[in-house]
């Protein structure tokens, strides 16, 4: 009888440990489905998953930090279009790679800082603020694209395009280059993963983000400056959007202000949720975000391979997001009921 209880306890502890890394299992299952659906999957096809996950993955890390702190950011997709479009204008004016990179990072920081000040200091609801800035960033960059000279926009038709030059070739070659068969942009995603995971697990700042997300009042009583922490988190999210925007223009050489980054706020939230981050804030592992982003890319590829009508794509992705959030909310309830029943059975 004792051995049976010990074995059951061991099994429960194993399942509990594995549940903390369910995002890895989700990715493996999805990749296996993709492998079965794809008749000719090559190593290049596998590494392309990293390439196609780079931009949304980097944005997702910013979204993850925001959600861990108990907030939400709906402006990341529009900010990507805004930052990318203005960065191309700067490139067309200067033809300088370094200035373009610095401007892209600065512009992303400014976009995030605006959100952070309005939410952290002015105490406005994050949902309303970022919904408003989502509309503002997209609208402004569309207006600018249609009302500036073709010299600045690169001669594109309702499109920002980098003008042809040797510097453009440098950027484009970098965005499509490989190192040891891995795409450079994928390596950037891995580097961002290492930095964010280290920051959230090994620094006081990272632990404060989780503390604020878990209980903002308690964190404030413990001496955490919650207002400026929220400002900093949104600023970091903007910085990561800037990094993603630079990689975007390196990979594509253009930005369409009406479609670039469209629905990326939903995709990044989905990647965060699939990565095991709690939407209620204060819980989760940032390492899961990269698996969430990769999983979402694999879902895209599965949909493409089985030739699903493109008009139904977002319905499938939205359903997956609902299921992921439902598993988060119902998981603890099911576990508590199971624990209660096992305790009652042990008593009897």
Q: What is the DSSP string of 26-84?
A: HHHHHHHHHHHH-TT--HHHHHHHHHHHHHHHHHHHHHHHHHHTT-----HHHHHHHHH
Which 3 state secondary structure label does DSSP give 309? coil
pTM for the whole structure = 0.88
Q: CA 80 to CA 108: how far, in whole Å?
A: 8
Chain center to CA of 207 = 20
Q: What is the pLDDT along the chain (348 residues), one digit of tens a residue?
A: 555 555 555 555 555 555 567 788 888 888 888 888 887 778 888 888 889 999 999 999 999 999 999 999 999 999 999 999 999 999 999 889 999 999 999 999 999 999 999 999 999 999 999 999 999 999 999 999 888 888 888 877 788 888 888 888 888 888 888 888 889 999 999 999 999 999 999 999 999 999 999 988 899 888 889 999 999 999 999 999 999 999 999 999 889 999 999 889 988 998 998 888 888 888 888 999 999 999 888 888 888 888 877 778 778 877 877 877 777 666 555 555 655 555 555 555
Letter string b/e over residues 238-264, b meaning 16 or more CB atoms within 10 A of that residue's CB: bbbbbbbbbbbbbbbbbbbbeebbeeb
Task: Report domain extents, the chain.
Answer: 47-261+278-284
Which 3 state secondary structure label does DSSP give 178? strand
The residues, ordered by sequence, that sit 6+ positions from 235 with a Cβ below 8 Å of its Cβ are 109, 112, 113, 116
Eight-class DSSP state of 162: P
Task: Compute CA distances 166 → 96, 172, 343, whole Å.
Answer: 10, 10, 71
Which single residue is written with the structure tokens 């990689």? Answer: 247
């Amino acid at each position: 009888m004792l051995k049976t209880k010990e074995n059951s306890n061991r099994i429960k502890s194993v399942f509990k440990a594995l549940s903390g890394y369910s995002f890895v299992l989700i990715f493996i299952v999805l990749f296996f489905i993709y492998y079965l659906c794809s008749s000719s999957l090559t190593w290049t096809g596998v590494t392309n998953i990293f390439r196609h996950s780079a931009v949304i993955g980097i944005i997702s890390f910013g979204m993850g930090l925001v959600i861990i702190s108990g907030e939400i950011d709906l402006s990341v997709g529009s900010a990507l279009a805004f930052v990318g479009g203005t960065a191309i204008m700067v490139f067309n004016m200067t033809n300088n790679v370094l200035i373009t990179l610095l401007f892209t990072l600065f512009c992303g920081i400014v976009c995030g800082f605006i959100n952070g000040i309005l939410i952290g200091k002015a105490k406005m609801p994050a949902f309303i603020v970022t919904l408003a800035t989502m509309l503002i960033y997209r609208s402004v960059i569309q207006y600018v694209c249609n009302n500036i000279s073709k010299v600045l926009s690169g001669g594109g038709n309702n499109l920002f395009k980098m003008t042809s030059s040797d510097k453009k070739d440098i950027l484009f070659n970098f965005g499509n280059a490989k190192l040891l068969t891995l795409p450079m942009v994928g390596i950037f995603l891995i580097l961002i993963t290492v930095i964010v995971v280290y920051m959230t697990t090994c620094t006081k700042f990272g632990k404060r983000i989780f503390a604020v997300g878990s209980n903002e009042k308690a964190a404030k009583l413990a001496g955490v400056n919650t207002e400026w922490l929220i400002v900093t988190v949104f600023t970091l999210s903007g910085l990561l959007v800037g990094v993603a925007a630079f990689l975007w223009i390196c990979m594509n050489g253009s930005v369409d202000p009406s479609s670039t980054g469209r629905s990326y706020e939903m995709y990044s939230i989905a990647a965060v949720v699939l990565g095991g981050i709690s939407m209620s804030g204060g819980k989760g592992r940032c390492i899961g975000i990269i698996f969430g982003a990769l999983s979402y890319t694999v879902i895209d590829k599965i949909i493409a391979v089985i030739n699903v009508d493109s008009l139904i794509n977002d319905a499938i992705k939205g359903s997956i997001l609902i299921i992921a959030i439902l598993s988060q909310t119902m998981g603890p309830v099911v576990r508590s009921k199971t624990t209660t029943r096992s305790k009652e059975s042990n008593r009897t």
